[in-house]
Amino acid sequence: MRKIIFLFTLLTTQLFAQENTFLNPILPGGFPDPSICRVGNDFYMVNSSFEYYPGLPIHKSKDLVNWELVGYGLQRKEQCSGQVNIVDVQSDGGIHAPTIRYHDGTFYIITTNVYYNLEKQQTDFVNFIIAAKNIEGPWSDPHVLDGAPGIDPDIFFDDGKVWYAGTHSPDKPNFPGEGEIWLQEIDTKSWKLTGERSYLWRGACGGVWAEGPHIYKKDNRYYLMLAEGGTSFNHAMMIAVSDSIRGPFISNDRNPILTTRNLSYDNWVVSTGHADLIELEDGRWFMVALGVRGDEDRSSNMGRETHLIPVKWEREPFEWKKEKYEWPVCAPLTGKVERFNPLPFANKPQYRNDAFCDNFDSKKLDLEWNFRRVPKEGTYSLTDNVGNMRLYAKPDMIKERGSCSLMGFRQKESEFEYSVRMLFSPKTDESEAGISLFQKDNNYFTFTVIRRNGQSIIQLKLAEPGKTPEILEEKKLDEYRGEIVLKVESKGHQYHFIFSLDNGETFSAFATTKSNYLLSKGYTGAYLGIYCTGNGKQSKEYSDFDWVNYKGYTRLTK
């Protein structure tokens, strides 16, 4: 049966290869805050990961439209404790807005860990750098930069010096939420900030939440690009120029250079921003930026995804200006992120693989799998029953700042099919296992088998922010013999929960709900996963998952 499922996935994987055209987003699923660099003909991209582990997902591409997940910057548990704490980090905390750069044979990622300290009742912003010779790792332990306030740092190499560009709230803000970009040199031998600190720019359109700075050098001028307006509908990209890296920076009169604030809230993608620029070997430029698809209620379960936008540099045409600056123009034909776009490389079409199948036959966990925070020892095993993922029914349940036997991969399309074959024969009451569709610790579905009063019960539970988790449907499984296939079909703005007790030969309908319960209201996107818990009880129970199978359906029109 396992081989049949795998072949079925290969045969039904939806491939998108329209001649001379690619489809946005280029990284579907919750991959926000993209940063990109180029080494020769290869492109590398990193994204925010917030409270998820492993952290800092890294993709590789040769054509800007087909991307392979090749590793993580935070891939070892010892990297994720101490000052860089994602062991018990709060929701929407953790790893924010990284920058990736390559210099003299080494990759660098600079980023922020945001951790709310319950004891001190304060939020700690820890900015740090990791480095690696190979993009797949091993990556170094974090080099924490003391005395670096704010979030979203940039690292910039220029004429033998290494610069840190970060954000902070100025001493005397003109209004709440005003941000300012500051600059200081980094000593990479001691990993300390050194020399004079300069204050560069507060943004172009009010300066509300000026963040995500990146510095570029073109034709001996320095360009400072930043995000402004927050990550919702007013998100926008601004840019300024200077003859000196320490400023003063002159704002582009045509700011913002990318936004959807001038478009309908019902545009196919909204909230575009938090971008990075890349120059190709042939001199062309592109931008990667986040955006939110408007699939459900002007939002989506996937949250903020990565999009690709062509960029053209144009010099100001005004005869009356003594100094005519050159500025990047995003999507020069339309000025907005388009669903369909000309391929960057005409002979390299885009192939969208919207399927994921894991038979758990490998000794290593597939890179697609993530945990909410660093998992505890003994949470799972790929060797205790070879060919299966074993999750242990620890007492821990899904809760804020907690870790439990829950793992998942990113939902990449609004419409999909997700199924799991599970072997689960508990002897302890309240032992529970099955699948979970989750957005946050207070926003999830669980579709599980639970033992109660000596009986096996199938149940669907929904947790919504501000509400007590509610059992939507439950039913006794008198015919249950320890094996079940659980399946969710998302179509027509509804979730259909079904199950099979004969290894997928026949399915029984169980419950139907709306599909907008897991809309991304925070920084991350929804995950599809597997779950096991003792619901507060100590036990030796476990569940074995034989395979998981996911197939997404790309909506070519809204």
Better-predicted residue by pLDDT, 131 or 6: 131
What is the distance in angstroms between the CA of the first residue and the CA of the last residue of the chain? 36
Q: How confident is the model at residue 18 (pLDDT cuts 50, 70, 90)?
A: low
Beta carbons within 10 angstroms of residue 427's beta carbon:
10
Residue 207 pLDDT > 90: no
Q: So what's the pLDDT on residue 557?
A: 54
Residue 10 pLDDT > 90: no
| pTM for this predicted structure | 0.95
451: amino acid identity, one letter: R
| Integer Cα distance of 437 and 406 in angstroms | 10
Q: How confident is the model at residue 15 (pLDDT cuts 50, 70, 90)?
A: very low
Q: So what's the pLDDT on residue 50?
A: 98
| Integer Cα distance of 540 and 551 in angstroms | 33
Tens-digit pLDDT profile for residues 489-520? 999 999 999 999 999 999 999 999 999 999 98
State the average pLDDT for the chain. Answer: 94
**211 a catalytic residue:** yes
Q: Is 271 left (phi over 0), alpha (psi -120 to 50) or beta?
A: left
| Integer Cα distance of 270 and 29 in angstroms | 15
Domains with residue ranges and CATH for the chain: 26-318 (2.115.10.20), 355-553 (2.60.120.200)
Q: How confident is the model at residue 13 (pLDDT cuts 50, 70, 90)?
A: very low
Q: How confident is the model at residue 3 (pLDDT cuts 50, 70, 90)?
A: very low
**473 a catalytic residue:** no
Q: So what's the pLDDT on residue 170?
A: 87
Residue 7 pLDDT > 70: no
Q: How confident is the model at residue 300 (pLDDT cuts 50, 70, 90)?
A: very high
Tens-digit pLDDT profile for residues 149-184? 999 999 999 999 999 999 998 888 888 888 999 999
Q: How confident is the model at residue 401 (pLDDT cuts 50, 70, 90)?
A: very high
**Active-site annotation holder among 33, 415, 441, 544:** 33
Tell me the helices (H) and strands (E) count for the chain, helix number first. Answer: 1, 39
| Integer Cα distance of 392 and 539 in angstroms | 9
Q: How confident is the model at residue 8 (pLDDT cuts 50, 70, 90)?
A: very low
Q: So what's the pLDDT on residue 304?
A: 97
Q: So what's the pLDDT on residue 501?
A: 97
Residues of the chain with pLDDT > 70, as a percent, come to 96
| Integer Cα distance of 556 and 558 in angstroms | 7
Residue 340 pLDDT > 90: yes
Q: So what's the pLDDT on residue 94?
A: 97
Contact 45, 34 (CB under 8 A): yes
The number of angstroms, rounded, from the C-alpha of 35 to the middle of its chain's C-alpha atoms is: 12
| Integer Cα distance of 69 and 293 in angstroms | 22
* Mean pLDDT (whole number) for 24-41: 98
Q: Shortest CA distance to 193 belongs to which of 182, 204, 203?
A: 182
Q: So what's the pLDDT on residue 48?
A: 98
Tens-digit pLDDT profile for residues 409-466? 999 999 999 999 999 999 999 999 999 999 999 999 999 999 999 999 999 999 999 9
**Active-site annotation holder among 211, 295, 338, 415:** 211
Q: Shortest CA distance to 69 belongs to which of 486, 356, 439, 267?
A: 356
